[in-house]
């Protein structure tokens, strides 16, 4: 178990290290923050922005462990029901959720999975994807729903943080 967790963390560290220069370039190109509008103006605009925002999100998962497949399915299912995000496979600006999973105990499939999630911004197919965030963890059959909810919540938070990219 420790060997698999070390491999997952090493992959996560390498992904982060490779994306840091791209992230630094992204921050350099980001527009300067503007002064906050008066409180009476902020509330209606914020409500309109939330109602109008429907961030395109793609989920990529190609592993075959049973718990990991259930996690990916729950994530896609909840994404389809979301009022703030929409699932997409189109060639457009989108957040790509890359989910990698492996069995926690190879001799006992279906007990649990180790997962690694990376959130990337893609402006179009074939172009360089920009790293936004990552997370790793362990999920069992009972916690799949809660983990999918947490991942979708973090996706929404990233969508609002990096909304200027859309």
pTM higher than 0.95 for the full model? no
Instruction: Tell me what percent of the residues of the chain surpass a pLDDT of 70.
Output: 68
pLDDT band at 160 (very low <50, low <70, confident <90, very high): very high
CB 58 within 8 Å of CB 80: no
pLDDT digits (tens, 9 = 90+) for 109-145: 778 999 999 999 999 888 899 999 999 999 998 999 9
The CATH architecture of the domain made up of 2-29+54-165 is 3-Layer(aba) Sandwich (3.40)
CB 154 within 8 Å of CB 133: yes
Domain positions in the chain: 2-29+54-165
CB 128 within 8 Å of CB 22: yes
Q: Note the pLDDT of residue 165.
A: 87
pLDDT digits (tens, 9 = 90+) for 64-94: 889 999 999 999 999 999 999 999 988 899 9
């Amino acid at each position: 178990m420790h060997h698999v967790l070390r491999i997952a963390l090493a992959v996560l560290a390498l992904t982060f290290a490779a994306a840091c220069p791209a992230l630094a370039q992204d921050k350099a190109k980001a527009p300067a923050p503007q002064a906050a509008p008066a409180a009476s103006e902020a509330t209606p605009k914020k409500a309109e922005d939330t109602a109008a925002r429907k961030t395109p999100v793609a989920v990529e998962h190609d592993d075959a462990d049973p718990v990991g497949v259930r996690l990916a399915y729950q994530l896609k299912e909840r994404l389809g029901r979301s009022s703030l995000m929409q699932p997409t496979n189109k060639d457009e600006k989108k957040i790509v959720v890359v989910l990698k999973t492996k069995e926690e105990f190879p001799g006992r499939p279906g007990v649990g999975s180790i997962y690694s999630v990376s959130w990337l911004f893609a402006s179009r197919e074939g172009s360089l994807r920009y790293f936004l965030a990552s997370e790793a963890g362990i999920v069992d059959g009972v916690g799949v729903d809660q983990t999918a909810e947490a991942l979708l919540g973090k996706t929404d938070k990233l969508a609002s943080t990096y909304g200027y990219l859309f």
